[in-house]
Amino acid sequence: NARNWDLFAIQADGTGRRQLTFTREFEQHPQWSPDGTQIVFTQGDVMTNIDIWVMDADGSNRRRLTEHPERDQRASWSPDGTQIAFVSQRDGDVGIWLMDADGGNKRKLVNGREPSWSPDGNWIAFVSSRGGLWSLYLVPASGGEPQKLWDVPNIGRDWTQQRLTWR
């Protein structure tokens, strides 16, 4: 009896399917916290506005972390679970913002999309179309000048909807 885009959890072997959200709004882009106790996700009307929420792993204790007229989305936990990177246009430009895990201390890091924390938490990889060509960048998580790694080949993908992953 799922409505719209509710979130579910399931065991790796395909058993234990549990519905975690029961709203009329769209929930998307879930990500487990590093310790596995919480899930950060976006919720809202995809045609108007979405914000970032967090809940306990069983779906309880839902809390809104952002509330802004512009979309806040694509949340990503820091490896130590103390910060969350997210994408927003809250200052007019599409950028990567950081906030504490409780939603406090919001600050812009850099213009770009699809933040991905390095395993040690010192860097954030992201994509940006600076100069009209999609490229992959690294920026210190503490702030600073982004470093361009390489141009992303045009392979017919919309890089604004991809997740970057470290190995």
CA 125 to each of CA 2, 24, 86, 93, 148: distance values in angstroms, whole numbers, following the listed order: 34, 33, 12, 18, 10
pLDDT of residue 70: 85
Which residues, in sequence order, are bridge partners of residue 96? 87, 110
Q: Express each pLDDT in 35-71 by its tens digit.
A: 999 999 999 876 778 999 999 999 999 999 999 888 8
CA 103/CA 121 separation, integer angstroms: 18
Question: Would you give the distance in Å from CA 38 to the centre of its chain?
Answer: 14
Q: How deeply is 74 buried, as exposed, middle or buried, from its count of CB atoms within 10 A (0-12, 13-18, 19+)?
A: buried
pLDDT of residue 22: 87
pLDDT of residue 130: 76
CA 41 to each of CA 13, 17, 92, 110, 155: distance values in angstroms, whole numbers, following the listed order: 23, 18, 22, 21, 28
Q: What is the pTM of this model?
A: 0.87
| Residues in the chain with pLDDT values less than 50 | 1-2
